[in-house]
């Protein structure tokens, strides 16, 4: 897209220290690679997809740092963190994601929320997990976030936005932050994440109705949780989401036979 072209060109043309450092790194790295390539007689190896991934991860790291500031630090429970990563990676296998790794983190917070930074870092709060009943519910929520991550919804949300000429990277990240933590993604992206996430959960072998149970739990919490930053402030109306998910359940006629794995979930959530 043209805005990305202008965004990168602006690094080459303008002087602010931050942009120059980025450009300097690009140029120096480029020169080193060019030299190596000349010596080896080959073309430069770097592809658009690799640079795109760099952009995702750089912005994702910044968003994650902001996420810790806003919502809290990782829960100091390695077993719980490992468990959530295993559930997430199990679902990701069946979500047709690119090969890039995903990282899941439970943060200590009173809010009911989860979100996906660009670059594969996915947050979920301790309070949100504690109010779930079984592993299929956790899988449902993580499935939703995995779809956001794998389909690059956050980055796609800023396509076409006019960035400032002197600080395009910082400007882009500011827009990403506003969307992720305040405004929320486009409703269609949210509904897509609900539907595709549920599909991934079902493929994995979990009960896809787990996600609907979570939405119903959130509905009962909604009246108490009007704080900024909760799922309610950044997502479509819960009742509408439940309705759409219910409609999709016709695709999963044997959902009642699918795994919920309550015992393991209870054990891991209460582990200190």
Partner 1 sequence: MKQITFIFIISILISVSPRAIAVEKVWVYSKGASLKADKKASSETITSLPADTELDVLSLEKRWYHVSTDSGEKGWIFRGKVTDTPPGEENEDEDEESLLDDLSDSGILLAAADTSRSIRGKKQKTKAYEQETETEEKYIRALDTVLSFYTTDDETESFLEQGRIGEYAE
Binders of partner 1 among residues 77 to 136 (CB under 8 A) are: 81-82, 85-87, 89-90, 93-94, 96, 99-101, 103-105, 119-121, 135
Which is nearer to partner 1, 12 or 178 (by Cβ)?
12
Residue 252 interacts with partner 1 (CB under 8 A)? no
Please calculate the CA angle 98-99-101 and round it to the nearest 5 degrees.
110
> How far is Cα 205 from Cα 133, in angstroms, rounded to an integer?
17
Q: How many CA atoms lie within 13 A of 236 on its CB side?
A: 17
Q: How many residues line the site for partner 1 (CB under 8 A)?
A: 75
Which uninterrupted H or E stretch holds 111?
Answer: none
Judged by CB under 8 A, which of 131, 133, 152, 166 binds partner 1? 152
Residue 185, classed as helix, strand or coil, is: coil
Which is nearer to partner 1, 47 or 270 (by Cβ)?
47
Stretch that binds partner 1, among 27-35, 175-183, 220-228, 243-251 (CB under 8 A): 27-35
> How far is Cα 15 from Cα 19, in angstroms, rounded to an integer?
7
Strand partners, 106: 124
Stretch that binds partner 1, among 66-74, 124-132, 178-186, 243-251 (CB under 8 A): 66-74
Q: Regarding beta strands 121-125 and 114-116, do their DSSP bridges make them parallel or antiparallel, or are they unpaired?
A: antiparallel
Residue 22 interacts with partner 1 (CB under 8 A)? yes
Stretch that binds partner 1, among 20-28, 125-133, 216-224, 232-240 (CB under 8 A): 20-28
x/- contact string, 187-216, with partner 1 (CB under 8 A)?
A: -----x---------xxxxx----------
Minimum distance from CB of 226 to partner 1 (Å)?
A: 27
Minimum distance from CB of 216 to partner 1 (Å)?
A: 23
Which is nearer to partner 1, 45 or 239 (by Cβ)?
45
Minimum distance from CB of 224 to partner 1 (Å)?
A: 28
Instruction: Classify residue 272 as exposed, middle or buried by CB count within 10 Å of its CB (0-12, 13-18, 19+).
Output: exposed
Find the radius of gyration of the CA atoms of the chain: 20
Stretch that binds partner 1, among 124-132, 179-187, 228-236, 256-264 (CB under 8 A): 256-264
Which is nearer to partner 1, 131 or 203 (by Cβ)?
203
Residue 40 interacts with partner 1 (CB under 8 A)? no
Which of positions 157-176 make contact with partner 1 (CB under 8 A)? 159
Judged by CB under 8 A, which of 14, 20, 57, 191 binds partner 1? 57
Residue 21 interacts with partner 1 (CB under 8 A)? yes
Do the beta carbons of residue 205 and residue 199 sit within 8 Å? no
Do the beta carbons of residue 138 and residue 129 sit within 8 Å? yes
Q: How many CA atoms lie within 13 A of 39 on its CB side?
A: 6
User: What separation in angstroms does the CA of 147 have from each of 14, 18, 97?
Assistant: 36, 32, 8
Q: Which two tokens stand for residue 22?
A: 């980025």
Do the beta carbons of residue 227 and residue 173 sit within 8 Å? no
């Amino acid at each position: 897209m043209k805005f990305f072209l202008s965004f990168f060109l602006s690094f080459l043309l303008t002087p602010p220290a931050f942009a120059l450092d980025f450009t300097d790194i690009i140029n120096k790295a480029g020169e080193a690679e060019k030299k190596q390539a000349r010596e080896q007689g080959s073309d430069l190896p770097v592809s658009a997809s690799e640079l795109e991934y760099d952009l995702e991860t750089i912005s994702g790291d910044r968003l994650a740092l902001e996420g810790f500031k806003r919502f809290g630090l990782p829960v100091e429970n390695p077993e719980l963190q490992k468990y959530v990563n295993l559930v997430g990676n199990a679902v990701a296998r069946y979500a047709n994601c690119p090969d890039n790794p995903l990282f899941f983190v439970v943060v200590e917070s009173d809010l009911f929320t989860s979100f996906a930074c660009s670059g594969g870092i996915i947050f979920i709060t301790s309070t949100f997990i504690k109010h779930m009943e079984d592993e299929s519910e956790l899988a449902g929520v993580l499935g939703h976030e995995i779809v956001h991550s794998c389909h690059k919804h956050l980055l796609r949300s800023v396509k076409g936005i006019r960035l400032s000429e002197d600080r395009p990277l910082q400007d882009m990240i500011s827009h990403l932050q506003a969307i992720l933590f305040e405004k929320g993604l486009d409703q269609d992206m949210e509904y897509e994440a609900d539907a595709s996430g549920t599909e991934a959960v079902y493929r994995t072998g979990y009960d896809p109705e787990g996600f609907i149970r979570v939405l119903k739990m959130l509905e009962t919490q909604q009246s108490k949780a009007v704080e900024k930053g909760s799922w309610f402030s950044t997502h479509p109306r819960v009742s509408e989401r439940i309705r759409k998910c219910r409609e999709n359940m016709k695709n999963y006629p044997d959902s009642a036979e699918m795994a919920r794995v309550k015992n393991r979930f209870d054990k891991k959530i209460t582990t200190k």
